[in-house]
């Protein structure tokens, strides 16, 4: 087969979601040829996931007609040919609407294929001495082998037109005996571990995952898995996991100013994320780490993701340390929120209860004082959960991730107006009992003037710039609309 020289590096999508075909520039003369077979920076710019290969394999095929069966394995592959050529056939064996989709093409040294995890791969050598090479991003293990799935090369329902009839080919007995597509088992997706599952955000992630019917989600809390204890990491076979969503955190911001609270705060918010980031990095797992507006001092308006960290409090310092640790994991999302509201004890529930106790809003003695010099937006946990799943690639009803957002830090709060805590409280009072006038605004200094014990400094401005998460395709809802709906559930 004549090799085409001088093509530009280009990427093409296929009918199998997430699978890409690359045309590779090959430069040759009378001496032979040269190519960049895999070039991380250029190819990632064209849409290749940053697969992080851990192994390079070569399948040498001595004779034309050698055919290897349709196997779906629990890792991503980047396939190319060093010498010779093959006819490749791929079948989507992932659960979902694309199950059973088939793609075929010829691969010579000027072409490469990215095959997502769960897509069955097979090929037929078209020349003697064909060297078929591939990168993979997970090491083989006995547990992973249990997740392999297969389909029969000769299934007429697949409609694969093999250039060399299978009756004339060298096949293994195992490949001859694989099931037809109708009997093939879809590949189970990589598992997702949600830590801090009993907190407001953890419960929301679980609710959204169960509502969408997403398989493979495991849940734990500090009682069963303490992220700050190295020995607890031995409880899991991390090769089975594709993502960790760390919803756990120490959030008692004032208690964190005490010696005992500071130790507990740093263990949960810094030491734990650092150990988890190291574990995820070692096993190619994506880490989602939830952060806070408290990593900033609040002196600026509308904080962007790249603003230098400037925490005021022990809590804020521990969260900033956790952010930096999480960012050390190659596949990471640091997701920053503010003023979180969900299923559990929170500001809105407290204000609703106080509103119910106010008999006469005009009575000065009945007034409820709330600070009016801290400004931000509410973050409802259902929106935050949906945003996290969107970043991971759960979109359009898919049961496993596809086309995740670029890794990095994202702000994720409600959209809508930036208001003070006092104004938020007044909205709650009005929605509950029409008594918003009972909320009396005060300064932070006045509010805490008679407090006993240490009080953590708060950011003045907690509003976060949402441009980046919007560019990734997620549009947060207006928090005022969500507030009205949330109040109806109380």
Identify the active-site residue in 114, 134, 447, 486.
Answer: 134
Identify the active-site residue in 71, 233, 236, 448.
Answer: 71
3-class secondary structure, 32: strand
Does residue 262 contact residue 215 with C-beta atoms inside 8 Å?
A: no
Question: Quick one: tokens of 442?
Answer: 């005060």
34: closest CA among 10, 56, 57, 5? 5
SS (H, E, C) 186-197: CCCCCEEEEECC
Does residue 306 contact residue 465 with C-beta atoms inside 8 Å?
A: no
305: closest CA among 318, 297, 296? 296
Does residue 93 contact residue 186 with C-beta atoms inside 8 Å?
A: yes
SS (H, E, C) 345-405: CCHHHHHHHHHHHCCCCCCHHHCEEEECCCEECCEEHHHHHHHHHHHHCCCCCCCCCCCCC
Does residue 123 contact residue 111 with C-beta atoms inside 8 Å?
A: no
| Helix, strand, coil fractions of the chain, as percent rounded to 5 | 30, 25, 45
List C-alpha distances in Å: 108 to 19, 44, 59, 162.
18, 22, 14, 16
Annotation says 71 is catalytic: yes
Annotation says 332 is catalytic: no
Longest dimension (CA), the chain: 96
What would the DSSP string read from start to end of 395-435? Answer: -TT-SS--SPPPSEEEE---BS--EEHHHHHHHHHHHHHS-
Q: What is the C-alpha separation between 213 and 397, in angstroms, rounded?
A: 9
Q: Phi, psi at residue 404, to the nearest 5°?
A: -65, 160
- Contacts (Cβ under 8 Å, ≥6 apart) of 337: 290, 291, 292, 293, 379, 384, 412, 413, 464
| Residues with catalytic function | 71, 134
């Amino acid at each position: 087969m004549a090799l085409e020289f001088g093509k530009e590096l280009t990427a093409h999508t296929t009918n199998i979601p997430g699978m890409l075909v690359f045309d590779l520039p090959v430069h040759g003369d009378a001496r032979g040829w040269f190519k960049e077979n895999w070039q991380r920076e250029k190819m990632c710019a064209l849409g290749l996931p940053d697969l992080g290969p851990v192994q390079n394999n070569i399948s040498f095929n001595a004779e034309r007609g050698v055919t290897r069966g349709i196997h779906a394995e629990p890792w991503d592959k980047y396939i190319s040919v060093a010498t010779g050529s093959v006819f490749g056939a791929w079948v989507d064996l992932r659960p979902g609407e694309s199950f059973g989709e088939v793609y075929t093409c010829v691969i010579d040294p000027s072409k490469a294929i990215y095959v997502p995890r769960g897509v069955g791969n097979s090929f037929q050598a078209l020349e003697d001495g064909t060297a078929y090479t591939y990168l993979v991003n997970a090491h083989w293990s006995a547990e992973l082998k249990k997740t392999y799935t297969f389909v029969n090369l000769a299934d007429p329902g697949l409609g694969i037109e093999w250039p060399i009839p299978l009756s004339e080919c060298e096949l293994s007995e195992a490949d001859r005996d694989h099931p037809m597509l109708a009997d093939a088992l879809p590949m189970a997706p990589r598992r997702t571990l949600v830590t801090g599952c009993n907190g407001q955000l953890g419960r929301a992630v679980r609710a959204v995952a169960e509502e969408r019917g997403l398989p493979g989600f495991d849940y734990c809390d500090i009682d069963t898995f303490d992220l700050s204890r190295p020995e607890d990491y031995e409880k899991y076979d991390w090769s089975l996991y594709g993502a960790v969503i760390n919803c756990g955190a120490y959030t008692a911001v004032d208690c964190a100013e005490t010696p005992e609270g500071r130790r507990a705060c740093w263990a949960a918010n810094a030491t734990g994320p650092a150990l988890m980031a190291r574990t995820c990095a070692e096993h190619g797992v994506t880490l989602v780490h939830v952060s806070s507006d408290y990593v900033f001092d609040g002196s600026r308006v509308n904080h962007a993701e790249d603003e230098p960290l400037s925490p005021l409090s022990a809590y804020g310092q521990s969260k900033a340390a956790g952010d930096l640790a999480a960012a050390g994991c190659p596949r990471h999302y640091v997701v920053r929120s503010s003023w979180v509201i969900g299923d559990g004890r929170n500001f809105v529930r407290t204000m609703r209860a106080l509103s119910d106790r106010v008999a006469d809003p005009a009575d000065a003695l009945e007034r409820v004082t709330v600070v009016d010099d801290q400004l931000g937006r509410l973050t409802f946990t259902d929106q935050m959960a949906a945003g996290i799943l969107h970043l991971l690639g759960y979109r359009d009803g898919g049961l496993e991730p596809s086309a995740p957002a670029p890794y990095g830090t994202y702000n994720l709060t409600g959209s809508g107006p930036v208001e003070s805590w006092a104004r938020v409280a007044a909205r709650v009072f009005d929605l509950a009992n029409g008594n918003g006038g009972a909320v009396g605004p005060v300064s932070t200094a006045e509010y805490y003037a008679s407090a006993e014990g240490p009080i953590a400094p708060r950011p003045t401005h907690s509003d976060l710039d949402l441009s980046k998460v919007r560019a990734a395709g997620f549009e947060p809802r207006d928090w005022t609309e969500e507030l009205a709906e949330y109040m109806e559930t109380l």
